[in-house]
Structure 1
Amino acid sequence: MDTINSILTPLYIAVSWIIVQFHKLYSLVFDEDSGWAWGLSIVSLVIVVRIGLIPLFFKQIKATRNMQALQPRMKAIQERYKSDRQRQSEEMMKLYKETGTNPLSSCLPILLQAPFFIALFQVLNHIASNRTVGVLSQAEVESARAASIFGAPIATRFMDSAEKVAELSASLTDVRVVTVIMIVLMSLSQFYTQRQLMTKNVDLTVKTPFMNQQKMLMYIFPIMFAVFGINFPVGVLIYWLTTNVWTLGQQMYVIQRNPTPGSIAFQQRQEKLREKGKLKEDPAEVETKKAVEAARANRVQPKKQPKSKRQAQGAQPKKAGPHQNGSAQGQQGRQKKQRPDATAPQDKPKPSEKTKK
């Protein structure tokens, strides 16, 4: 544990320094010992971290789309080499290299945000234990420890005992009500973010396992927040709720401005651009449309003949072709063979028994 703390010490310093600077700023408006001054400092920390991760967020979007497009080829490789795991891995790596796709790129924002989350968690634990951490002085630790939002100190958690909460001059009921509300808001924001991605920004023209994975995560993440949230301090819940809301807003912006091709959002955006006359069509599609229109214009429609003329044409006997003549003559010959000739001598009737006698 001491080794981990020593490794994360630079992060403790960075996180605590950012919080202290924003706390000084918000203390000009709010009481420096209030939960709003410290709570908004945590919110500002999230904003700073997420702004720094914006370039990685766009890489995540690109990587996610590439992975979605590669799903059919990946599935084919898995089916082809299902009995040879090593060859399957080699072919997968070859496919990633050919297409310039990195499977980990879609997870980078979450992975890089995790150290800040852990650092904030430890900073709040130090505050709850009334210990200095990073650049926080003892006076600032005591101020943050007593600061509360809606009656819940930012260093308390749902699972704390009544005695521990009472030390901070707070009520266990207030702490649990606030934490439950924040956990519910965290879960709902995460669920809506994932649902928005599934219903609006997924290519519906290609059915891939990626869609099933995203659908599964839509239900798993909210449950994870509900399970782990009861062990998070109120300050960490503020951090996670803020980052969820940021993700939701960021995703809405991307869906409106740069939706995934083939998705519902993409079709809606194309319609809006077409209505405004801003849609630039593909030159190949334009040439195809021109060719179709030209073919329609050059096509000669048959003129409708008067009824008398159609009846006159129907009354005329059709000329039989050579094949028809041959077949008719053959049919007549067959009929002649079957029909007895009138000039041929007929067989005489056999004499009856009386004549013989």
Structure 2
Amino acid sequence: MENLVLLAPMAGFWDTLMAPLYWAVSGLLVLAHNLFSPLFGADSGLTWTLSIILLTIVIRTLLIPLFVKQIRSSRNMQLLQPKVRELQKKYSHDREKLGQETMKLYKDEGVNPMASCFPLLLQMPIFFALFQVLNSAARGVPKGTFMTQELADSVAQATIFGARIAGTFLPLNQFGAEQILALILILAMVGTQFYVQLQLMGKNMPPDAMTGPMAQQQKMMLYVLPIVFGVGGVAFPIGVLIYWTASNLWSMGQQFYVIRQSPTPGTPAYAAWEARMRMKGHDPATLRPGVRPPKKAKAAAVATETPVEPTNEELAAGDPNTPRVQRQQPRRQTRSNRKR
């Protein structure tokens, strides 16, 4: 009982701290719900599902600059691993000096080791806010300024494919539609999370960057993160699973575009980019990934289509009544213009 009394102020402080996110998440969710309600009904599970997906799109669109920075930072960190290994060999006897030289290397190369974690860290409070809004609505308790009691009851009762949006995989009192849909979404969430990491490591990392402590850490995260989300997913409401799966699908498409347009040299993605540039008639050596190649000049075609004026000698040899061509004299220029 004493522990509960001590935790009550902490819970109140946490709700106060998260109040702006509860306000934003509930506002976006209710706004999307109002957009889809005339089409599918206010209490329809499809309405709430589409509202969650639209909420995902809005959040991930706002995070696009950070996502691109995450991709580039992670790529640059991997590219620096050969230099980091050289520093480790040189200063293996002095860990303090090794740390200083490593940070100096990151600073000189303009790499921030924490930049690759920013989008995930920023998503976690949003994810927690959505979890609290949906989890509270499942119990008939509104959370957030815009989530009224009527809307909370609507979320609690809304169903899709026979499963409640607010339902979870656990407890397993009976295995029904909620458990089946939750299990499918958990597997989809884990699979897409795994592929997002594999896509980055498999297509946009050179072979030299795939060895060393940083690469081993990346490989560990490739398997650890999906397992963590898979284990935790059994307690997530179906609405939260829909959000996280849709977010992973967005990441897959966004990452595919970024890697395709701005690949790392020496990677399979860069080789594919060079092949595409050659097929379009461009020289990859003169281009830079991420920059649109210039349009090819059509001077030869213009030259063949532009009529050539005859000279005065040719005119004199022809019809004497044909007027001579008056040649245009060059314009006078100042000395400073001629120098330029």
TM bucket (normalised to shorter chain) is 0.7 to 0.9
Higher mean C-alpha deviation, range 258-267 or range 87-96:
87-96
The separation in 2 between residues aligned to 1:206 and 1:112, in whole angstroms, is 27
CA contact (8 A) 1:128 1:145 kept: yes
Name the structure 2 match of 1:191. Answer: 194
How far apart, CA to CA, are the structure 2 residues paired with 1:220 and 1:206? 20
For structure 2, which runs of at least 5 residues remain unmatched after alignment? 1-10, 288-340
Q: What residue is the counterpart of 2:244 in the other structure?
A: 240
Amino acid at match of 2:200: L
Cα distance between partner residues in 2 of 1:268 and 1:108:
29
**Equivalent position of 2:26 in the other structure:** 16
Aligned letter for 1:225?
A: F
Contact residue 169 and residue 178 of structure 2 kept, 8 A? yes
Change (3 A) 1:192 1:84: same
Structure 1 residue 172: Cα displacement: 4.7
Q: Distance in 2 between matches of 1:206 and 1:228?
A: 31
Aligned to 1:230, which of 234, 252, 266?
Answer: 234
Matched to 2:167, the amino acid is T
3-state SS in 1 of match to 2:80: helix
> Is this contact kept in 2: 1:39–1:235, CA < 8 A?
yes
Tell me which amino acid in the other structure corresponds to 2:69.
K
Q: 1:219 aligns with which of 223, 230, 234?
A: 223
2:46 counterpart of 1:42:
no
Per-residue CA distance 1:1-26 (angstroms, 9 max, x = gap): 22111100110010000000000000
User: What code does the residue aligned with 2:153 have?
Assistant: E
Q: Of the candidates 264, 271, 278, which is equivalent to residue 268 of structure 2?
A: 264
Deviation at 1:53, TM superposition (A): 0.5
Aligned to 1:114: 124
Pairing partner for 1:152 from 156, 163, 178: 163
Q: 1:173 & 1:84 partners in 2: Cα distance? A: 60
**Alpha-carbon shift at residue 280 of structure 1 (Å):** 4.3
Distance 2:51 2:210 in 1: 44
- Segments of 5+ residues of structure 1 without an aligned counterpart are 163-170, 284-357
Alpha-carbon separation, structure 1, partners of 2:151 and 2:163: 18
The correspondence for 2:253, drawn from 243, 249, 252, is 249
TM, length-normalised to structure 1: 0.73
Separation of aligned partners in 2, 1:205 and 1:79: 16
Q: TM-score, normalized by length of structure 2?
A: 0.76
State the partner residue of 2:283: 279
- Which amino acid counterpart does residue 226 of structure 2 have in structure 1? P
Q: Deviation of residue 282 (structure 1)?
A: 4.3
Q: Which residue of 1 aligns with 2:211?
A: 208
Paired residue type of 1:6: T
Looking at structure 1, the residues matched to 201 and 232 of structure 2 have their Cα atoms a distance apart, in angstroms, of 25
Give the distance between the partners of 1:72 and 1:241, measured in 2 at CA.
Answer: 35
CA distance in 1, matches of 2:63, 2:269: 24
Match of 1:290 in 2: none
Is 2:135 the counterpart of 1:125? yes
State which structure, 1 or 2, has the greater radius of gyration over its C-alpha atoms.
1
Equivalent position SS for 1:157: coil
Alignment counterpart, residue 109 of structure 2, candidates 99, 103, 125: 99
> CA–CA distance in 1 between the matches of 2:12 and 2:248?
31
Identify the range of structure 1 (44-53 vs 73-82) with the bigger mean alpha-carbon deviation: 73-82
Change (3 A) 1:207 1:24: closer
**Structure 1, 203-212 or 227-236: larger mean CA deviation:** 203-212
User: How many Å apart are 1:83 and its aligned residue?
Assistant: 4.0
Task: Name 1:348's counterpart in structure 2.
Answer: none
Deviation at 1:281, TM superposition (A): 2.4
Q: How far apart are residue 215 of structure 1 and its match?
A: 2.8
Deviation of the 1:240 alpha carbon: 0.5
- Partner SS, residue 16 of structure 2: helix
Corresponding residue of 1:137: 148
How far residue 183 of structure 1 moved from its aligned partner, in angstroms, is 0.7
Q: Is the 8 A contact 2:78 2:210 kept in 1?
A: no
Aligned equivalents of 2:177 and 2:210: distance in 1? 47
1:27 aligned counterpart, secondary structure? helix
AA aligned to 2:235 is N
Corresponding residue for 1:355?
none
> Which whole-Å CA distance do the structure 2 matches of 1:172 and 1:29 have between them?
32
Number of equivalences? 275
Task: Flag the 1:148–1:172 CA change in 2: closer, same or farther, 3 A.
Answer: farther
